Structure 1
């Protein structure tokens, strides 16, 4: 159980994913209850993971009908600076396929953001029909709007001060930060 849950490559995943990893290699009597108890008592998970809380009223869902119909963008950072000088991560998530790209960047300026989105994501997967982001200065700049107009991409944005409106990418941010915290320790943000 330790090998399938606590190694850095395992990332301290939850009970279901740990169970799936263990089942590929081992089997014993009362395996489910043993793994459930092991994951529930993991001190690293208990220190770093937040409890799942659900809202009282469901949000209105938008369902994409094809790949690259709607791509969500968001930044994580600033994080500790890497050897290459990167301290931000641009997260791009395709809503239909849930494909996630994490692009390390030195800053969050509009120029760097637009260049990374085009060179690292759109050049490989094609241009999306719609980009959905928060109201950060980099995404609302005239340069980013001009790029969207030039590439005929519809630009949509979230409600101010409401990160849950861009839930697709916020959930990926949380998953990535959980894995980073498990690898680096509880001091990472």
Structure 2
């Protein structure tokens, strides 16, 4: 049946003229050969009782070391400040940063920060979350937070650092 359908589409004059067969971009693997060569970053939003909490998630692609930083919002200013104060000043500057194409990561401020620090800024394919390995880590983090006891879940923010420590140990 699938073969018949494929033959029908290939022989359909209207289908051939419209040229709806999109070219696929070649697949490539994201490679890192040493620590801080590539950081992958993303925002994770957790909603509890109608209240949204933003977490800037940062992961070293080589070591899988991760940080989760609570932020008040997802603006480029907050993002730049969190990267500078909570990561760069503690661990150093990465060679590259990979993020999605969100406004918070593609702003002039982030571009200037990366330029001043000598960091190459890379972005994933639009609407393709699988292109950013930190997306997998987001699911892991949510799963770890779900394992908290009922009382602990009420104030999960207090337990974010211990959860991160457990993951990184």
Name the TM-score class by shorter chain.
0.5 to 0.7
**Would you say 1:61 and 2:34 are equivalent positions?**
no
CA 1:175 to 1:141, structure 2 compared with 1: closer, same or farther past 3 Å? same
Asked if the contact 1:76/1:88 (under 8 Å) is kept, the reply is: yes
CA apart distance, 1:86: 7.8
- The alignment's TM-score, normalised by the length of structure 1, stands at 0.61
For this pair of structures, how many residues does the alignment match? 124
Asked if the contact 1:86/1:106 (under 8 Å) is kept, the reply is: no
Asked if the contact 1:70/1:129 (under 8 Å) is kept, the reply is: yes
Task: Write out aligned runs for 1:127-146 (5 A).
Answer: 127-146=93-112
**Would you say 1:94 and 2:94 are equivalent positions?**
no
Query: Match for residue 174 of structure 1?
Result: 139
**Would you say 1:183 and 2:153 are equivalent positions?**
no
Q: CA RMSD in A?
A: 2.2
Q: Alignment partner of 1:183: what SS?
A: coil
Deviations 1:158-183 (A, max 9, x none): 000000000x2011100011122343
Which structure is higher in strand share? 2
Task: Write out aligned runs for 1:91-170 (5 A).
Answer: 91-166=57-132, 168-170=133-135
CA 1:183 to 1:133, structure 2 compared with 1: closer, same or farther past 3 Å? same
Asked if the contact 2:45/2:52 (under 8 Å) is kept, the reply is: no
CA apart distance, 1:155: 0.2
Q: Alignment partner of 2:74: what SS?
A: coil
In the alignment, the residues of structure 2 paired with residue 60 and residue 177 of structure 1 have an alpha-carbon distance, to the nearest angstrom, of 28
In the alignment, the residues of structure 1 paired with residue 42 and residue 105 of structure 2 have an alpha-carbon distance, to the nearest angstrom, of 9
Query: Match for residue 72 of structure 1?
Result: 40
Structure 2 stretches lacking a partner, 5+ long: 1-26, 151-169
Asked if the contact 1:64/1:70 (under 8 Å) is kept, the reply is: yes
Deviations 1:3-31 (A, max 9, x none): xxxxxxxxxxxxxxxxxxxxxxxxxxxxx
Which structure is higher in helix share? 2
